[in-house]
Structure 1
Amino acid sequence: MGAVFVGVRHHSPACARIVAATISELQPAYVLIEGPADFNERIDELLLGHELPVALFSYSDQHASWSPFCDYSPEWVAITEARRCGAEVRFIDLPAWHEAFRDVSNRYADAELRYTEVVERLCREFSVDNVDVLWDHLFECETEPKGMAEYFDLLRGTATADEGDSAREEYMARWVRAAVHDAGDRPVVVITGGFHTAALKAQLDGGTEWPEVPERERGASYLVPYSHARLDAFTGYQSGMPSPGYYQQVWESGSQRAADWLVESVATRLRRRQQPVSTADLIAARTQAGALARLRGHENLARTDVLDGLTSALISEDLTQPPPWTRRGTLQPGAHPALIEMIGALRGGKVGRLHPSTPAPPLVNAVQELLRTHGLDQEGRIALDLTDPEALERSRILHRLRVLRIPGFERTSGPSGGGQPQLEEQWTLRPVDERLAALIEAAENGATLEEAAGVALERRSRHAQLEELAAILFDAVLCGISALSGRVKQTLNEGVRETGDLAALGSVLSGVLGLWRHDRLFGTKKDPLLGSVIDAGTARVLWLIEGLHGGPAPADPHRLKAMAATRDAVLHAKSALSLDTVDVTGVATRVSNDVQAPPDLRGAALGLAWTLGSQPDVHKVRNIEALGDWLTGLFAVAREEVLASPDLVGVLDELVSAMDEDEFLVALPALRLAFSYFPPRERETIAATVLAHRGVEGSVKGVTRLTADPITVAEAMAIEKRVDALLVKGGLA
């Protein structure tokens, strides 16, 4: 009889029923399925008794891919029906790690872009919004859908297969020819995406030997639990069908009961959110859905018939965005509550579970053993004293899980930089269903937790920006992964030497300097590679600021952080620097005197020179423009020196006192920012210096602490200003 081809749309109940009926009727010798051929020897793992959805996860050095199955996936139905009738089952597609899948993360994604033009033409012809509505209109709501093969032929006739498609189809055709030859007079049923069917039919002439499975140097394939949430097109998965929860009901109960389920589910979800939904609303929704189905010529209710009926009955105001089922998009912020609950109901909440006998990668067992051994398989909050070696090891395990994004381990507090003295961490542990899937998928990085975390961090570092590299370095330190730290430090060093981003440079220099100075806890104190990053970063900051020009502008806290980090590097990491202090002072002095430099940078440069021993002429402050911004820079770098200089504080007092009201109000925001660098106790020290400068005796606290509400004070000042204006207008001033 030869090959019988059944082209399908992935995750379609209508296609799944056709597949089941075809296999049951023909009783074939072979059932060939679009799936990874390297898994053929392990197909029995699929039939252990899992709760669907599950996915076949494959990975190699360069690529990872998923092949998901739910109850109504035609591929899954083909496997189960073939085994029921005694047929041999074979996956016939190239492995997921093959070059043909280089840009494919999901084998069963619907490649609509290849046939956009014909789909748009069909949508116009049938007056529907998109391919999902078109598919429902033509096939899903029909009891016995017809014309499906012609539909797929039309799609393929207008599209051009790329190199990956051609390689896959040539390989699948070899399996078909071999199976037909081996089956003799018995039929062979071939289940593939409809896009490929015509190409396979055209390649039935040729060799009949069974094809070899390409080999790979590294990688593996494992089953992972999946979920309706991960399958849903409205959350970003480009599957053949959206709304998996709804189509699960269609598969189990038919279109009419699925429609009733959807209406009841939406009503229940809205009522839980305290949204009013009356019985009359539900009757109206059902009535409207039925009327729309008849108007659109649907034998059974289609998904959009029900959704449009619900929208009409439950939403009376204008929508701020089109319903997502009209464009297959995700919900945007501000969506109507009814739309949110419709999408939630459509999605469903089913979460797959693997049979306990399912093979798992070594990482899964390794992590579970670590969690048991270190008491981290519990639920609740834990505190870790990082000075305790045992607690430090527990911390490293948790951080490795964190960088692998394994759910259920949340750090609520702890050190976020090498210079922080925080020696305790707080974590919240909780069991979650998604953990097993995340661990299996993380196994592509390595067989042990330390190896997997290290590979994950290294992958992040390959294309990371400078500031992110510093965060990766600190993550490596928290994980206790020294080998990776060395590679990241080297990359960081190279990036520091080349960057023109002063803000990122300041953040990196500050963080690395903290690790170099203080980090006895994690073992990076006085690290030579960190020292070289500090040396390169300090030199780069000085080179960048000397060429930085610009007029008055709000003070930039990021470049001021870079200036403060440069100060700390010269004061506290002198042994790591190739620069002499006199060279740094020279650059700082030149920048502080450069009238073309931004005011905050000039102030910070003066502060840098001051902290390195160069005494400033405080009276030059009288000629500074944009005083508030200049002071912000000065205070950011030389706060302690300012506190110890009554002469400078006196000059500043005189300058501020000499401002008229308008000048003061203009300068006030910048002045407030500048003085925010001083904590309350130091502000009292400045206030005492001001009182002494004026020769006034009194309570410092009375000067620095405002007892009245600031808003009340502002309102009173505004009233006084209006009164003064009226007095002037009336000649009474």
Structure 2
Amino acid sequence: MTAPPARAPLLLGVRHHGPGSARAVRAALAAARPAAVLVEGPAEADALAGLAADPDMRPPVALLAHAADDPGRAAFWPFAAFSPEWTALRWALDVGVPVRFADLPAAHTLAADPTWGDGDEDADDAAPAPDPLAELARAAGHEDPERWWEDAVELREGGGADPLAPFEALAEAMTVLRERHGSAVRPRDLVREAHMRLRLRAARKEFGDRIVVVCGAWHVPALALRTTVAADRALLKGLPKVRTELTWVPWTHRRLARRSGYGAGITAPGWYGHLFAAPDRPVERWMTRAAGLLREADHPVSTAHVIEAVRLAEGLAALRGRPRPGLDETTDAVRAVLCGGSDVSLGLVRDRLVIGDDLGEVPAGAPAVPLQRDLTRLQKSLRLKPEADGRDLDLDLRGGTDAARSRLLHRLRLLGVDWGEPAPGRSGTGTFREGWRLSWQPELHVRVAEAGVWGTTVESAATARAAFLARTADTLREVTDLAERCLLAGLGDALPAVLGALADRAALDTDAARLADALPALARALRYGDVRGTDTAALAGVALGVAERICVGLPAACAGLAPAAAEAMRDRLDAVHTAIALLPDPKPDPGTEPDPKPGSGSDPGPGPGPGPAPDPPSEADAVPGPGLLSDRWAGTLRRLAGGERVAGVVRGRAARTLFDGGLAGTRETGRTMGLALSPAVPPAEAAAWIDGFAGGAGGGLPLVHDERLFALLDAWLGAVPDEVFPAVLPLLRRTFGGYDPGVRRALGELAARGPGAAVPAAAAPGFAAEPDAARADAVLPLLRLVLGPEVPA
């Protein structure tokens, strides 16, 4: 059987990612039976074309090109199953016809200025680039270009008697448009079209005239233009060029819905994919899929709903003069019938079906940097499949697989590959549980390529990058954060370099505020290292040194602060107090004595002034000595609480911290409060003190749950003279007005009960006057089972 005469070369102008165009291309190729096919795409991708026929290749996928020396300079050429270019590529491979990519090489595209060819914005007479789709729709009497194109192309049933006729009509229309808007054609397009003509000439010389070119419809008149080889080469002369690497990478429907690559973003990739894949009755099949999705979300949708939705969509199409129901009609029918008029339920259909979360797959044989291959191996061994749809992952760090997953995700974050984000509220300091939110996006392939300069495996690359970051860090806090991240990532080989930089910077940094900013990360790193079984002895030494320097330098750093700086210092005080509680106490040097115990009466006194003397030890206020570092920190808090030059908000927070920790008794704290809020104290300073004592982190919840604290404030407030109360009221409103409504309501209920409600917990109903030692000891066997045999008997 002889082939029919072809209109050679055959130029098939299409709209990128159009299912109607894809069906028409398939029919035209089957009718023309060309000797070779040229497809719009970077010319260097010829060697990768054969991978499109691999059984493991599943669109949506994209050609990724990046500069070999600068992987961050990259570009994508995406393809979906319903893309005309992908249809042509697969048809050629399936029937054994040679296929080539004809567009400008990526080596030139990546080397050019990103704004190259967009026109001279400074020229007053610069014509805007035309929108061919809008021009054709306007000529046909339609205001909505998308709707006109859907009616004219995407919803057409079959290609008619002559499958080539639609392409000839479209080429004729584009020729008229280019003649009318010739001055507005972008220089970038002229260069690309010159290269396509050269590739077409080379193909005709190799395969004869029976060539089919599949490209954007806008380029068809330019490819049919008769020019000389010298003229086309002149347009390409002098173009910048870089060495590039190309590969196939997975793409997503959600990413197709954005303007990416060559600007061919579409609004409904899931709907277009359905139109292309449905063998018949696309509306009925679409409604069935929508009903199934809504049923999975526990929406009451029946078969009768589906039938009525189909009838409504067809009726709307008839009323609106459309050949078949389009996306607008099916969406209106889904909203009215399947969703009961709810836009919330419709949002689920739009997100999951109209757009979709399809993630393509690429065969293992596709070119990739070594780091990408190691990452793929780890993903398979740890059973962490990349997914476009975000999902939550809860890890138990006591398990081998979950611990390895945690290390992988933390190492990738060190490399700038943010596949996973720590889930807020799922992890606690020093706990064995960790939460992540995973979402794989195509751009991460570029990040992996960029990170390939650090090593060939994820572990070696993360180690090298951590060492580099340690050398180039500008602040102590950056190094402490890096030490924590290395422990989380299990990068033991990077710790010597990081700890060395940490020790050097900690020894040279004399700013107590910067040291206070750095200590919390060190404390967390020690706790995380303990959970993961990491040796953190060296890190503990640095952390203890930083903590002791904070104890020495913090009182002076808190003197004479402006209000904003004082607020920040209060937050640092809270963070340091929490961090010190996590640090191990150092062993005292031989021949030295620890700082005097807080509350013992031998404390040298706070700050430059003597301050109020602590209460004599009593049975109610007795405090056990917690350890050397804790003693020093308690002494620092006392100096802050009584320092005359220390900002009021810091003094108030220090007094509150001493009280909460049992380091200052009720009488001592009450006396401190009375002095800080006496009539002789300026109102602004008094307001800052009460804000530091009762405001800040945690709001008023401690007042609700700590009856001693409530009683303390209640007793002070009840002792305020009537003539002074109007001056005190604004101070209280400033602090208590920031509490949540529920907290204010609970405090009001406590106050309404009267003075008897605020009593020590030991005297509250349901509590004995003294602890029951026997009942307390009964929990020790269970604690030993949970925490281990090291719990003392």
**SS of match in other structure, 2:77:** strand
Which of these residues, 337, 341, 349, is aligned with residue 345 of structure 2? 337
- Offset at residue 136 of structure 1 (A): 0.9
Answer yes or no: is 1:474 the counterpart of 2:452.
no
Structure 1 vs Structure 2 CA RMSD: 6.6
AA in 2 matched with 1:651 = R
Answer yes or no: is 1:206 the counterpart of 2:229.
yes
- Offset at residue 336 of structure 1 (A): 1.8
- Offset at residue 180 of structure 1 (A): 3.3
Label 1:640 to 1:434 Cα distance change in 2 as closer, same or farther (>3 A). closer
Answer yes or no: is 1:58 the counterpart of 2:65.
yes
Out of 128-137 and 612-621, give the one that drifted further: 612-621
Is residue 35–residue 94 contact of structure 1 (8 Å, CA) maintained in 2?
Answer: yes
- Offset at residue 672 of structure 1 (A): 3.5
Cα distance between partner residues in 1 of 2:43 and 2:183: 26
Is residue 407–residue 434 contact of structure 1 (8 Å, CA) maintained in 2?
Answer: yes
Cα distance between partner residues in 1 of 2:411 and 2:484: 12
- Offset at residue 505 of structure 1 (A): 8.9
Answer yes or no: is 1:20 the counterpart of 2:44.
no
Alignment gaps of 5+ in structure 2? 1-6, 116-126, 160-165, 386-392, 587-605, 612-630, 717-742, 756-793
Out of 515-524 and 148-157, give the one that drifted further: 515-524
Cα distance between partner residues in 2 of 1:16 and 1:26: 15
Partner of 1:400: 411
Label 1:474 to 1:267 Cα distance change in 2 as closer, same or farther (>3 A). same
> Cα deviations across residues 559-589 of structure 1 (Å, max 9, x unaligned)?
54588799999x99xxxxxxxxxxxxxxx97
Cα distance between partner residues in 2 of 1:392 and 1:407: 17
Answer yes or no: is 1:222 the counterpart of 2:229.
no
- Offset at residue 288 of structure 1 (A): 3.1
Partner of 1:188: 211
Alignment of 1:75-90 (within 5 A): 75-83=85-93, 86-90=96-100
**SS of match in other structure, 1:643:** coil
Is residue 52–residue 353 contact of structure 1 (8 Å, CA) maintained in 2?
Answer: yes
Partner of 1:137: 151
Partner of 1:549: 562
Which of these residues, 226, 246, 258, is aligned with residue 282 of structure 2? 258
Answer yes or no: is 1:4 the counterpart of 2:27.
no
Cα distance between partner residues in 2 of 1:545 and 1:93: 65
Alignment of 1:112-151 (within 5 A): 131-143=145-157, 144=159, 147-149=169-171
Is residue 486–residue 492 contact of structure 2 (8 Å, CA) maintained in 1?
Answer: yes
**SS of match in other structure, 1:297:** coil
Cα distance between partner residues in 2 of 1:641 and 1:279: 65
Label 1:647 to 1:347 Cα distance change in 2 as closer, same or farther (>3 A). closer
Out of 89-98 and 27-36, give the one that drifted further: 89-98
Cα distance between partner residues in 1 of 2:275 and 2:427: 51
Cα distance between partner residues in 2 of 1:460 and 1:126: 61
Partner of 2:748: 714
Label 1:631 to 1:453 Cα distance change in 2 as closer, same or farther (>3 A). same
Is residue 100–residue 164 contact of structure 1 (8 Å, CA) maintained in 2?
Answer: no
Label 1:482 to 1:440 Cα distance change in 2 as closer, same or farther (>3 A). same
Cα distance between partner residues in 2 of 1:167 and 1:493: 56
Cα distance between partner residues in 2 of 1:29 and 1:352: 30
Label 1:525 to 1:720 Cα distance change in 2 as closer, same or farther (>3 A). closer
- Offset at residue 366 of structure 1 (A): 3.3
Label 1:459 to 1:244 Cα distance change in 2 as closer, same or farther (>3 A). farther
Is residue 92–residue 99 contact of structure 2 (8 Å, CA) maintained in 1?
Answer: yes
Which of these residues, 370, 388, 397, is aligned with residue 362 of structure 1? 370
**SS of match in other structure, 1:336:** helix
Answer yes or no: is 1:672 the counterpart of 2:694.
yes
Partner of 1:602: none
AA in 2 matched with 1:448 = T
Answer yes or no: is 1:271 the counterpart of 2:277.
no
Is residue 32–residue 188 contact of structure 1 (8 Å, CA) maintained in 2?
Answer: yes
AA in 2 matched with 1:252 = A
Label 1:18 to 1:385 Cα distance change in 2 as closer, same or farther (>3 A). closer
Is residue 247–residue 368 contact of structure 2 (8 Å, CA) maintained in 1?
Answer: yes
Cα distance between partner residues in 1 of 2:128 and 2:558: 51
AA in 2 matched with 1:400 = R
Cα distance between partner residues in 1 of 2:468 and 2:151: 45
> Cα deviations across residues 90-120 of structure 1 (Å, max 9, x unaligned)?
1122444644487989xxxxxxx98576766
Cα distance between partner residues in 2 of 1:77 and 1:173: 22
- Offset at residue 392 of structure 1 (A): 8.6
The alignment's TM-score, normalised by the length of structure 2, stands at 0.59
- Offset at residue 8 of structure 1 (A): 1.7
Partner of 1:449: 458
Cα distance between partner residues in 2 of 1:171 and 1:718: 85
Is residue 52–residue 226 contact of structure 1 (8 Å, CA) maintained in 2?
Answer: no
Q: Percent identity?
A: 24
- Offset at residue 414 of structure 1 (A): 11
AA in 1 matched with 2:272 = Y
> Cα deviations across residues 339-387 of structure 1 (Å, max 9, x unaligned)?
3224422345655444565565534553466679xx745999875569x
- Offset at residue 10 of structure 1 (A): 1.4
Label 1:114 to 1:81 Cα distance change in 2 as closer, same or farther (>3 A). farther
Alignment gaps of 5+ in structure 1? 106-112, 320-334, 573-587, 594-606, 694-708, 722-733
- Offset at residue 434 of structure 1 (A): 6.8
- Offset at residue 489 of structure 1 (A): 10
Partner of 1:307: 331
**SS of match in other structure, 2:248:** strand
Cα distance between partner residues in 1 of 2:373 and 2:403: 22
> Cα deviations across residues 634-666 of structure 1 (Å, max 9, x unaligned)?
34787799925888524235469989xxx9999
AA in 2 matched with 1:59 = H
Answer yes or no: is 1:241 the counterpart of 2:266.
yes
Cα distance between partner residues in 2 of 1:471 and 1:67: 38
Cα distance between partner residues in 1 of 2:220 and 2:608: 74
Is residue 467–residue 497 contact of structure 2 (8 Å, CA) maintained in 1?
Answer: no
Paired positions, count? 628
- Offset at residue 149 of structure 1 (A): 3.2
Partner of 2:123: none
The alignment's TM-score, normalised by the length of structure 1, stands at 0.63
- Offset at residue 307 of structure 1 (A): 1.9
Out of 298-307 and 342-351, give the one that drifted further: 342-351
**SS of match in other structure, 2:229:** coil
